[in-house]
Structure 1
Amino acid sequence: MSSYYFSASPEKRIISSGKQFLLNQVLCFIKKHRIKATILAILLIAYYFCLPDPLFRTPTSTVIESRNGALLGARIAEDGQWRFPETDSVPKKFEQCILHFEDAYFYTHPGFNPISIGKALVRNIRAGNVVRGGSTLTQQVIRLSRKGKKRTYFEKVLEIILATRLELRHSKKDILRLYASQAPFGSNVVGLDVAAWRYFGVQPHQLSWAESATLAVLPNAPSLVYPGKNQEKLRIKRNRLLHKLREAKLIDSTTYQLSIAEPLPQKPFPLPRTAPHLLQRMAREHPGQKVRTSIDPALQDRVNTIVKQHHEILKQNEVYNAAVLVMDVHTRQVLAYTGNTPTDKKHQKDVDIINAPRSTGSIMKPFLYAAMLDAGELLPNTLVPDIPTRISSYTPENFNPEYDGAVPAGSALTRSLNIPFVRMLQDYGLERFRDKLQAFRLRDIDRPADYYGLTLILGGAESNLWDLCKTYASLASTVNHFHETSSEYYTGEFAEPVLKANEKAGFGTVSRQKTVFDAGSIFLTFQAMRELNRPEGNEAWQYFDSTKKIAWKTGTSFGNRDAWAIGATKDYVIGVWAGNADGEGRPGLTGVTAAAPILFDVFDALPSSSWFDMPYDELVEAEVCRNSGYLASPLCPKTTAWIPHSGQRTGPCPYHHLVHLDSKRQYRVNTSCTPVTDIIAEPWFTLPPLMEHYYKNNHANYKSLPPFRADCFTDGPVAMDFIYPREDQDVILPKNFEGTTNELVVKVAHSKPGTTVFWYVDDRFLGQTRTFHEMAIIPREGKHLITVIDEFGNEIKRTVRVKK
């Protein structure tokens, strides 16, 4: 014997001896009875593998719940049954009801009850047919898994064998959960979870004793006592069970009396449809599963109501669809997901607009603004041209077809002016901007830059509400994280939003390097977007409580097909789209009139947020020109402003020049006509001729350069440019009521007042002008070359095509 045998305690030596003896007996039996041992081994193996795993392979419904477990919606299973995924627990009330009705000895038998089987067998033989069953809940689970099998004595024996195997594989609680998940409750309702909703409109744990008893008796004869039919039979079965519960002292007499007085269910309740388009999405991504989402049920209901209210207004203009997405900036969780209005099938009510690619309109202008701030190619109030523009064959127009001449970049963003942003995109670089957008992972912008051209900034590309809200939330989160981490960034800032309650957004690791844009550029962009007076077509916004601090942007696609509004605060991002899912445009459908009212109604449903913390480490206070927004030169009137560090690389103001005036400051002079001692040098703010022409119409305090005094010799640079028509423009000359063709009025701006200019059309002299440089002509139909020459020999040309 081994040394262990002698060193072990007497009890351990006895156990060891017993095991050795038993092993010897088994080996001896196998040697003497090889055939019997082989058969026994085969039977044991067959018994071990006789039970399928998993036991049920039936399709289940896709179910979505809110973050606190409230049912948001469900989709029927592929086989046409309402069958939720397996329940995770069985409520105590239902458990007591089902045990007292079906299997009182459930927790003590090994899967079958010999006494119940014997009693049932005797009674059935005496009756000559099956009048009583002796199946346990375990056997009923087996029978449910073997659906379609005839109820014969052989099948009963097989059920018993499989039931014992099920008892060895699963705990009693697990078997009870299998029964509650797979039991039939009449019609196409399978399982306790869906039965509680369909018959009582509540979750299983909210069922009363009477409701639990009603559901407990239904699986026994689901076709016979389907709610709404055979009411008296159902009542008798339920009350008999409630009487048992009272006898077992599980309920008192008062509860019993109240329970038997409760009405029976009459017809199935419809399941909640709180987020039908989110259910569509989850049915694609997680078919047949129960998903607990990040949705806030109270907010989702409120957003649904807001969308429904605005749908009633929008459809008066034959606008039938809208969508709203609400995200938490800090967690990136989706709090509300309303994919469409409650319209009808004719107007595509089932289309999930949140994921549909639509023309972006102006909604991406803040990205370009932030990109140029980040690159040090723009300051917040740098003047950008707003003048008639033609680039190759592309002629952008503002929503309001007027020109400011020059406008601060931040104001251009606030007012959503198109021409300044097209010119800014040309300066920044189309390919370069396309690369920046790629960092945002906007999946619908998947073509090369040349495919979109400069229209990219005005809606020439398509994106979707999901990706755009994700991007705005990521920008807001960049500023938040920069403050929270003491001036650091996260490598995975532009992470996908979260739709599941148990998931967290992956922000990556902390880094000193910016992710896409620095926090200062984003903050200044949000500052510009925070302005409230946002005219787009001369509408002044008056519906919003100015105490709320929100960075928001609207957008309208070409042809008034898409209306956008996206707003960001420190805590939330809300995105709104309105329009027609089939792409039909409608007059008056704009971001301001259609989407923005929804945006602010949803913001009113959220807690107020404080404004973003200023990222001081990414900003520097600098002296800038009060007039032009550029870095101040020595000639500029100065003011201070916060700019990105990269903004210090921008050039000084190019529009302030030192001019020499006479003693009365009426004329410009030089040493050819005035002694140096009598010349007054004064800084002057001067814009190029075309910019000046429009700028001074909107700025009464703008002063054009005084002319040179007549006795002065000048050889300084002069400039002139066409105001109208634009290059290669098609000009239509209509006829008046008398049948006479209207004139084409050509306009030119000249930098030197009082200069004489000479006009030619196709080398034919027309005349000259001195003060106001306008010339009316009636050219023949076709292509013409207009030439203008000033008295100093400067020349400009323009080609137009005339149509009558």
Structure 2
Amino acid sequence: MMTAVIVASGCALWVHSLGPLPLEQTKQISTTVVDRNGRLLRAYAMADGRWRLPVEAKTSVDPSYLTLLLGYEDKHFYRHHGVDPLALGRAAIQLLIRGHIVSGGSTITMQLARLLEPRQNRSLAAKLRQAVRALQIEQKLSKNQILDLYLELAPFGGNLEGIRAASIAYFGKEPKRLTLAESALLVALPQSPETRRLDRHPAIARIARDRVLDRMVRDGRVSAADASQARAVIVPKLRKPMPVLAPHSADQAIAVMKNVPIIQLSLDAGIQRALEGLARDRAAALGANISIGLIAVDNDRGDVIAHVGSPDYFDDRRAGQVDMTRAVRSPGSTLKPFIYGLAFEDGFVHPESLIEDRPIRFGAYAPENFDMTFQGTVPVRKALQLSLNVPAIALLDRVGASRLSSRLKQAGGQLVLPKDEAPGLAMGLGGVGITLRDLVQLYASLARGGSAKPLREIMQVNGGDDRETLRLMDPVAAWQVGNVLMGTPPPENAAHHRIAFKTGTSYGFRDAWSVGFDGRMTIGVWVGRPDGVPVPGLVGRTAAAPILFDAFARTGKLPMALPKPPKGTLFANNAQLPLPLRRFRPLGELVRGGSEQALRIQFPLNGSRIDASSGENQFAALPVKVAGGVLPLTMLVNGVTVGGIDSRRQRLVDPPGPGFVRLTVMDASGAADTVVVRIQ
């Protein structure tokens, strides 16, 4: 009795001396960046150079592989408590009969214990230690957790650890769908990972694979015919590179999300792969030093679904590791739609209004069109679709360059002006800097009805979204811009009226742009040299627009129509428009001679907030006071005529509801003044 107590006490002391389970090291894994659906975009090796990717057996591993693994290594895995007495007894009998170890009798849990505490030699003491650790592991972890941990730590040769790293490196795919030959090979490798390395000893690896197949046939888990076909499959002799999808996004993500093992991005791996291929093909056709930046955004969510920073991350000639979507470049004519949008919002022009495209001078500045010709009198719609410079600058002079700049900044578009310069008319033709990322955010705001949302690429761990919605312009104005851009002539051989888009070419042919949207997504394309050297003939319409249309096609999604026009949108041909809207009059034409005064809304002030609430969802009439102008005067609310103004130049207006309201007054000569107020 005393002897038994002494033995038991000694065993207890020995077990206690082993210390706690060394589970901390299992938390060390390769940082992985995944797409919105959990698909791997890019992984980074651990600090010591090992590849160890997180894995869940039930969701990310082929069931047939698990069947082979448990059938070959641990038939009673789900029934024992860490140690299989039958397997250990069989191993002991084989040792006695043959004089050497034939099989170790180790369970999956015991093998996991060996991985947690590597041993140098196979001995009875080491086996006993594994058994004790296996019992401890079974008490601490569930069967599924044990299997996941084994599949994460099992060695597969070289610096590969875990089933995912091995499957990707040897077969170029995730282990979700494995052939019988692949499954058998992956079962065989961890038993002797270095002597069976595929890139060094493929013949030995093949023999081990076939041994697994033979055992499975004897156990009735695999048919002889299937095993015969699997034996005929050649064992791969070279490792494949780890995936490097969206490298610029991944680099940015790990710089922001430090020490986070799994980072989820908003990207779609399928679309990302397709657009990376498109950029690579088009850059090769355009020239050796040409780079391409490309971003695709989901309109509703404001999520980036594809981000191509360069055609080839590893191409030094194209400065491949420089993310051109974040480079500040001259946008050419791509800011023109926002000039027109503010002009529509202010109510002094309509898409069907007429505007002059003739030589004009603004002080010392005399804008010219790209082709050095003038179109004469054209509809505003055509002026934007043809990207005429003079009408755009005339509208910007009326809207105000500072106002355009502040409105774009308010919506998240950070414009970079030359040092010590204030916003001027030249910004309408590209005399300012902006990134492709910010430009796409602004265009996505047009598609969203004038409501801007900061782009998101890194998903929050809790799945939340705390981004604040920003205002770009009135919904009616935003819709009118999209409707006009939908009619822009597409590049050669492209379908008409599928995408609302705009192109741009910077001064000196340094940057070619094309940004477009449909009812689902917005895509922006930049083409040029990263070093800013001019490329003769590099024009947005011929270099960037074809890539834009091809990008929409390669997403695999059919074009979606733009949203329906908002309430209050004015539909009329030129002859049906109110007289002041039929022709645009530059700012100078508002100045009167003699006793006449320029038309001006005295109250309410532009940009003011007015508390007009008078009860449950009711709003009191808003007084409008006007000075100057030629009678009769016409009042418009959000672009819709509501009647005239009396001889005292006053009127009460019923607000359409809470939010921003655009009030416009026009006189008999065509002069107009507009204010935007917020009703609350």
| TM-score computed with the length of structure 1 as normaliser | 0.64
Shift in CA distance, 231/522, structure 1 to aligned 2, threshold 3 Å: closer
Match of 2:52 in 1: 83
Which runs of 5 or more residues in structure 2 are unaligned? Answer: 1-8, 591-628, 632-637, 641-660, 672-680
Return the match for 1:528 from 484, 503, 511. Answer: 484
| Contact 2:405–2:415 under 8 Å retained in 1 | no
- Equivalent residue letter for 1:81: R
| Contact 1:332–1:505 under 8 Å retained in 2 | no
Map residues 76-115 of structure 1 onto 2, 5 A cutoff. Answer: 76-87=45-56, 89=58, 90-113=61-84
Distance 1:218 1:431 in 2: 67
Distance 1:385 1:279 in 2: 47
Match of 2:566 in 1: 615
Return the match for 1:51 from 21, 25, 31. Answer: 21
> Could you tell me how far 1:387 is from its partner in structure 2?
3.5
Q: Deviation per CA, 1:587-606: give whole Å up to 9, x if none.
A: 11121121111112223444
3-state SS, counterpart of residue 412 of structure 2: coil
Match of 1:307 in 2: 279
> Could you tell me how far 1:103 is from its partner in structure 2?
2.6
Shift in CA distance, 227/403, structure 1 to aligned 2, threshold 3 Å: same
> Could you tell me how far 1:275 is from its partner in structure 2?
3.7
> Could you tell me how far 1:297 is from its partner in structure 2?
4.9
3-state SS, counterpart of residue 448 of structure 2: helix
Distance 2:668 2:271 in 1: 50
Return the match for 1:562 from 475, 490, 511. Answer: 511
> Could you tell me how far 1:522 is from its partner in structure 2?
0.7
> Could you tell me how far 1:291 is from its partner in structure 2?
5.1
| Contact 2:181–2:230 under 8 Å retained in 1 | yes
> Could you tell me how far 1:626 is from its partner in structure 2?
8.3
> Could you tell me how far 1:615 is from its partner in structure 2?
1.5
Match of 2:344 in 1: 373
Shift in CA distance, 213/278, structure 1 to aligned 2, threshold 3 Å: same
- Equivalent residue letter for 1:464: T
> Could you tell me how far 1:157 is from its partner in structure 2?
4.6
3-state SS, counterpart of residue 254 of structure 1: helix
Match of 1:472 in 2: 443
| Contact 1:61–1:85 under 8 Å retained in 2 | no
3-state SS, counterpart of residue 164 of structure 2: helix
Distance 2:318 2:669 in 1: 54
3-state SS, counterpart of residue 578 of structure 2: strand
3-state SS, counterpart of residue 21 of structure 2: coil
* Percent pairwise identity: 29
Asked if 1:387 corresponds to 2:359, the answer is yes
Return the match for 2:531 from 582, 604, 618. Answer: 582
- Equivalent residue letter for 1:323: G
| Contact 1:474–1:494 under 8 Å retained in 2 | yes
Match of 1:518 in 2: 474
Which runs of 5 or more residues in structure 1 are unaligned? Answer: 1-37, 480-489, 535-540, 636-641, 656-804
| Contact 1:340–1:352 under 8 Å retained in 2 | yes
Return the match for 1:176 from 140, 147, 151. Answer: 147
Return the match for 1:339 from 292, 309, 313. Answer: 309
- Equivalent residue letter for 2:337: P
3-state SS, counterpart of residue 494 of structure 2: coil
Root-mean-square deviation (Å): 4.4
Of 372-381 and 580-589, deviating more is 372-381
Q: Deviation per CA, 1:513-537: give whole Å up to 9, x if none.
A: x943221111111223233348xxx
Shift in CA distance, 248/294, structure 1 to aligned 2, threshold 3 Å: farther
Distance 2:372 2:584 in 1: 25
Map residues 1-12 of structure 1 onto 2, 5 A cutoff. Answer: none
3-state SS, counterpart of residue 479 of structure 2: helix
Q: Deviation per CA, 1:116-138: give whole Å up to 9, x if none.
A: 55776787799998775343322
Match of 2:234 in 1: 263
Q: Deviation per CA, 1:537-567: give whole Å up to 9, x if none.
A: xxxx544322x33221111222222111001
> Could you tell me how far 1:228 is from its partner in structure 2?
4.4
Map residues 653-732 of structure 1 onto 2, 5 A cutoff. Answer: 653=669
Return the match for 1:214 from 185, 190, 201. Answer: 185
Distance 1:453 1:131 in 2: 85
Shift in CA distance, 382/250, structure 1 to aligned 2, threshold 3 Å: same
Asked if 1:64 corresponds to 2:34, the answer is yes
3-state SS, counterpart of residue 514 of structure 2: strand
Q: Deviation per CA, 1:377-397: give whole Å up to 9, x if none.
A: 4433353675343547x6655
Distance 1:532 1:620 in 2: 19
Distance 2:464 2:507 in 1: 35
Shift in CA distance, 247/43, structure 1 to aligned 2, threshold 3 Å: closer
Larger radius of gyration: 1
Asked if 1:572 corresponds to 2:521, the answer is yes
> Could you tell me how far 1:359 is from its partner in structure 2?
2.3
Q: Deviation per CA, 1:751-787: give whole Å up to 9, x if none.
A: xxxxxxxxxxxxxxxxxxxxxxxxxxxxxxxxxxxxx
Distance 1:91 1:114 in 2: 29
Distance 1:40 1:448 in 2: 79
3-state SS, counterpart of residue 463 of structure 1: coil
Q: Deviation per CA, 1:781-804: give whole Å up to 9, x if none.
A: xxxxxxxxxxxxxxxxxxxxxxxx
Q: Deviation per CA, 1:601-642: give whole Å up to 9, x if none.
A: 2234441332431213354764246862479x999xxxxxx9
Distance 1:652 1:258 in 2: 89
Shift in CA distance, 509/335, structure 1 to aligned 2, threshold 3 Å: closer
Match of 2:453 in 1: 494
Shift in CA distance, 306/91, structure 1 to aligned 2, threshold 3 Å: closer
Which protein has greater RCO, CA pairs closer than 8 Å, 6+ apart? Answer: 2
Distance 1:418 1:151 in 2: 82
> Could you tell me how far 1:506 is from its partner in structure 2?
4.8
Map residues 279-298 of structure 1 onto 2, 5 A cutoff. Answer: 279-286=250-257, 289-290=261-262, 294-298=266-270
> Could you tell me how far 1:62 is from its partner in structure 2?
2.2
Map residues 714-793 of structure 1 onto 2, 5 A cutoff. Answer: none
Of 169-178 and 286-295, deviating more is 286-295
Distance 2:271 2:165 in 1: 24
Shift in CA distance, 452/652, structure 1 to aligned 2, threshold 3 Å: same
Distance 1:390 1:361 in 2: 19
Distance 1:432 1:42 in 2: 80
Distance 2:418 2:492 in 1: 39
Q: Deviation per CA, 1:13-43: give whole Å up to 9, x if none.
A: xxxxxxxxxxxxxxxxxxxxxxxxx999999
Distance 1:227 1:166 in 2: 32
Return the match for 1:417 from 378, 388, 394. Answer: 388
Distance 1:92 1:355 in 2: 43
Q: Deviation per CA, 1:676-708: give whole Å up to 9, x if none.
A: xxxxxxxxxxxxxxxxxxxxxxxxxxxxxxxxx
Return the match for 2:583 from 618, 628, 634. Answer: 628
- Equivalent residue letter for 1:85: P
- Equivalent residue letter for 2:427: L
Match of 1:764 in 2: none
Match of 2:413 in 1: 442
Shift in CA distance, 191/508, structure 1 to aligned 2, threshold 3 Å: closer
| TM-score computed with the length of structure 2 as normaliser | 0.74
Of 113-122 and 458-467, deviating more is 113-122
Distance 2:271 2:579 in 1: 45
> Could you tell me how far 1:221 is from its partner in structure 2?
0.6
Shift in CA distance, 39/157, structure 1 to aligned 2, threshold 3 Å: closer
- Equivalent residue letter for 2:512: A
Asked if 1:649 corresponds to 2:659, the answer is no
Q: Deviation per CA, 1:74-114: give whole Å up to 9, x if none.
A: 44343322322233534322222222333333223322345
